[in-house]
Amino acid sequence: MKKLIGNAVVGQSGGPTAAINATLAGVIRGVKENVGDGAIKTLYGMKNGVEGLLQERLVDLTAFFDSEEKIEALEHTPAAALGSCRKKLPKLHEDDAFYEKLLAIFKKYDIRYFFYIGGNDSMDTVAKLSAYTKEQDYDMCIMGVPKTIDNDLVVTDHTPGFGSAAKYIAVTLQEIIRDCAVYTIPAVTIVEIMGRDAGWLTAAAGISRVINGIAPDLIYLPERHFNKEEFFEDVRVALKKHPNVVIAVSEGIRFADGTYVCEGFGVASTDAFGHKQLSGTGKALEYAVKAEIGCKVRSIELNLPQRCASHIASATDLAESVCVGRAAVKAASEGVTRQMMTIVRDSTEPYVYHVEHSDVSKIANQIKAVPAEFINDRGNNVTDECARYLLPLIVGEAMPKYRNGIPEYLIIE
Amino acid sequence: MKKLIGNAVVGQSGGPTAAINATLAGVIRGVKENVGDGAIKTLYGMKNGVEGLLQERLVDLTAFFDSEEKIEALEHTPAAALGSCRKKLPKLHEDDAFYEKLLAIFKKYDIRYFFYIGGNDSMDTVAKLSAYTKEQDYDMCIMGVPKTIDNDLVVTDHTPGFGSAAKYIAVTLQEIIRDCAVYTIPAVTIVEIMGRDAGWLTAAAGISRVINGIAPDLIYLPERHFNKEEFFEDVRVALKKHPNVVIAVSEGIRFADGTYVCEGFGVASTDAFGHKQLSGTGKALEYAVKAEIGCKVRSIELNLPQRCASHIASATDLAESVCVGRAAVKAASEGVTRQMMTIVRDSTEPYVYHVEHSDVSKIANQIKAVPAEFINDRGNNVTDECARYLLPLIVGEAMPKYRNGIPEYLIIE
């Protein structure tokens, strides 16, 4: 493709992460550093992803980011600074008016570069836009830039955002394990971790085992069927070893018949308003262990902080996120289009990676599960191989700046 | 009292905090620095508080802490490094054998100094032991050293451990508020914070309002009755201002009739085993807002990390905790006994404090509530005065040392 001269637009989509703004900062840095020798003139940010783009809610990021200080603050700001959306684009030819409207906006603002930072659904958006602009013969570089704490995108070794969430989980579990160790009476603590379809985040709970030997006693991922009887047996065996058993479970674990554990155990729960309410997976297992084993049981749902705790972000993750954003600008300015940026791992010890890109249409709408060799035979823990593979991604502490005890974030008005 | 020469014992009791080991480190430093000119020879640590003392599970801390590095690591280790207990001592003369056994152990190990780090129940232990040894005419310096995240001890301006928990809450809420701001659809997020009887920790959610203007829209403390109708009205008004409403509630909020909110809303809930289960306060309000207002609602229980997240401990809190522990040794070696150490605030801006001590029998078994002037008229937020009062306690970041991405803790074997 010929070298395109024009403006660029960047958006963020899907669930927030602690690193999605670092990727945005990478795109801004790429444009500011003029990596394409003048190819990109103005970089617009779309507010709330394609939803805002359709309403022409655009902000001139080239003008807004007029200092290194602002870009650095952005790198340490959690959640999507441009706002996000969960809009799924219509299939091609299902709603021509929709795509025509987008194309008109691209032409109006002379937009020749489109960067979309997101996960699986966002790559679907990138793939559809790629197909449409190609069909319309509108010259445009359309690039997907991966981010998801779930780490479930295929082709890329891992996804920006995952390392910071994994670090939050690993550090928080170290603290919870110490907290649970102070009493002598038998107690079970169940920690519920995000990840409906893939167990990567829950697996991160096991990384510390190859560092200091301290990790949850049991870890259950959605990649393996959850067996109630085996689980109770596992808990009983663990309680014989020491009184304070800590268990990490993925929110997405299911029984062999496909029922989610949170449904299977908690389905009869009705609130004061008469509505059926699903308790979480951790809560369901808490009730089950109380009923079956009878010891003290507590459940903890790590919840939103997993994806937004930028105060304990992984320095490795933030650096990679910036790098991937910048590389997307560089590739696009060289004419690359319809691709998602990928991280390629060259070596684990020492950890070495480089950035490439790959056909986005072959990435969207697929899910990368934790491979079989990363889970032990019993299906109640991760292997050392898994822990060693994940370890480099949580290394380094990326502290935000603090003022009066709280972090300073960058807010794009 | 005459200057006592002998050994000392130190214990930790009650719920863990991120700062309770900093106080232990302060006691160790005091003894190591020989503040009493040879008054204290060996410092023993009791494992699991008085429970372990009764079993003579003692560790020689003077010998164990043979390097500055170890003491520093202890300061950044969450939860009670000596283990804890929740043992309530019998009333005097209710169980003479119990106290005689303790006295025999004191004599056996030549223990003339007793330091007990804990909250309300622990001060009850200190008060009872003080009364007993006085009655027996056994010369002993018995000192209570305060720690509780709840900040509900009287006389002292605030308690070591509170500042770190407050900082965790303030920082986490900044992140949650950013996370919730990314979407445009109306949504309510309810964050449940610890504190059954006093609302100090929940009040900490409001500190940031006087720093950067960003804080939860609504804050409900147990010091005020919870009114369902007013609450729904508050939420509706907040939703009119912006789509992403964040609410902080104390786990201990009650209706005017004394019923806990978690009981009043969630009492009909029954799990799959047929057991009545109380959902948390946040969950109960989540169901209530869903039913009443119908928008998207999420609840988050901050749970254990509030009291053990040493990775985001307040530097002010840790420094004070060390200071209070050291001062306890100094006071005891000067003959002070039957007292709890207290923090006296000299000034808020700039923040200046000093350490004193006060009769423990007048502190134990009382609860310091958030004062009326710290809560607004409507009872749905804290005042700026409250936020400014709490602010100094969260200032400064006390980072632990990290290795391979996770913190290094000190474990006393």
Q: What CATH number is given to the structural domain containing A273?
A: 3.40.50.460
| A175 contacts on B by Cβ (under 8 Å) | 78-79, 304-305, 308-311
Q: Any idea which residue has 């703004």 for tokens? A: A21
Ranking A31-35, A184-188, A353-357, B131-135 by mean pLDDT, the lowest is A31-35
Residues B116-134, mean pLDDT to the nearest whole number: 94
Q: What is the per-residue pLDDT across A321-350, written as a single tens digit (0 to 9) for each?
A: 999 999 999 999 999 999 999 999 999 999
| pLDDT of B48 higher than 60 | yes
A400 to chain B: nearest residue by CA?
A: B397
B150 catalytically annotated: yes
| A189 contacts on B by Cβ (under 8 Å) | 304
| pLDDT of B274 higher than 70 | no
Catalytic residue from among A96, A124, A137, A150: A150
Same domain, B111 and B190: no
Q: What is the per-residue pLDDT across B31-45, written as a single tens digit (0 to 9) for each?
A: 999 887 889 999 999
Whether residues A86 and B397 touch (CB distance < 8 A) is answered with no
Q: What is the pLDDT of residue B407?
A: 98
Residue type, A252: G
Q: What is the pLDDT of residue A87?
A: 87
What is the DSSP code (8-state) at residue B310? G
- The CA–CA distances, whole Å, from A36 to A6, A12, A39, A113, A324 equal 11, 22, 5, 12, 16
Nearest Cα of chain B lies from the Cα of A411 at a distance, in angstroms, of 9
| pLDDT of A229 higher than 70 | yes
What ipTM does this complex have? 0.96
Same domain, A10 and A157: yes
Same domain, A325 and A402: yes
Q: What is the pLDDT of residue A267?
A: 46
B87: contact with A, CB 8 A cutoff: no
Same domain, B269 and B346: no
The domain boundary, picked from B268, B291, B308, lies at B308
Q: Percent of chain B scored above 90 by pLDDT?
A: 90
| pLDDT of B226 higher than 70 | yes
Residue A147 included in any domain: yes
Same domain, B185 and B215: yes
pTM over 0.90: yes
Same domain, A174 and A279: yes
In a mutational test of the A interface, the residue from B182, B273, B312 whose CB has the highest number of chain A CBs within 10 Å is B182
Domain count, chain B: 2
CATH code for the domain in which residue A61 is found? 3.40.50.450
Whether residues A270 and B268 touch (CB distance < 8 A) is answered with yes
The domain boundary, picked from A306, A326, A354, lies at A306
Residues B341-356, mean pLDDT to the nearest whole number: 98
Residue A254 included in any domain: yes
Residue A267: which of B83, B308, B273 has the closest Cα?
Answer: B273
Q: What is the pLDDT of residue A396?
A: 98
Residue B382 included in any domain: no
Query: What residues make up the domain containing A49?
Result: 6-161+309-366+395-407
Residues A225-232, mean pLDDT to the nearest whole number: 97
Q: What is the pLDDT of residue A278?
A: 61
Same domain, A115 and A185: no
| pLDDT of A294 higher than 90 | yes
Same domain, A211 and A221: yes
Q: In what order do the strands lie in the sheet with A244-250?
A: A218-220, A244-250, A187-193, A296-301
Helix, strand and coil in chain A, % to nearest 5: 40, 20, 40
The domain boundary, picked from A306, A331, A355, lies at A306
Residue A313 included in any domain: yes
Roughly how many angstroms between the first and final C-alpha of chain A, as a whole number? 36
Same domain, B92 and B41: yes
Residue A117 included in any domain: yes
CA A140 – CA B175 distance, rounded (Å): 36
Q: Which residues pair with A118 in a beta bridge?
A: A146
Q: String of b and e for B129-163 (b: at least 16 CB within 10 Å)?
A: bbbbbeeeeeebbbbbbbbbbbbbbbbbbbbbbbb
Residue B83 included in any domain: yes
Same domain, B238 and B313: no
Whether residues A175 and B305 touch (CB distance < 8 A) is answered with yes
Q: What is the pLDDT of residue B38?
A: 85
Average pLDDT value for chain B: 94
Instruction: Give A365's pLDDT tier (boundaries 50, 70, 90).
Output: confident
Same domain, A324 and A222: no
Residue B157 included in any domain: yes
| A404 contacts on B by Cβ (under 8 Å) | 211, 391, 394-395
Catalytic residue from among B124, B150, B217, B234: B150
Same domain, B181 and B156: no
Residue B381 included in any domain: no
Ranking A126-135, B262-271, B388-397 by mean pLDDT, the lowest is B262-271
CB proximity list for B391: less than 8 A, separation 6 or greater = A404, A405, B207, B210, B211
Q: What is the pLDDT of residue A54?
A: 97
Ranking A249-258, A274-283, A390-399 by mean pLDDT, the lowest is A274-283
Instruction: Give B1's pLDDT tier (boundaries 50, 70, 90).
Output: low
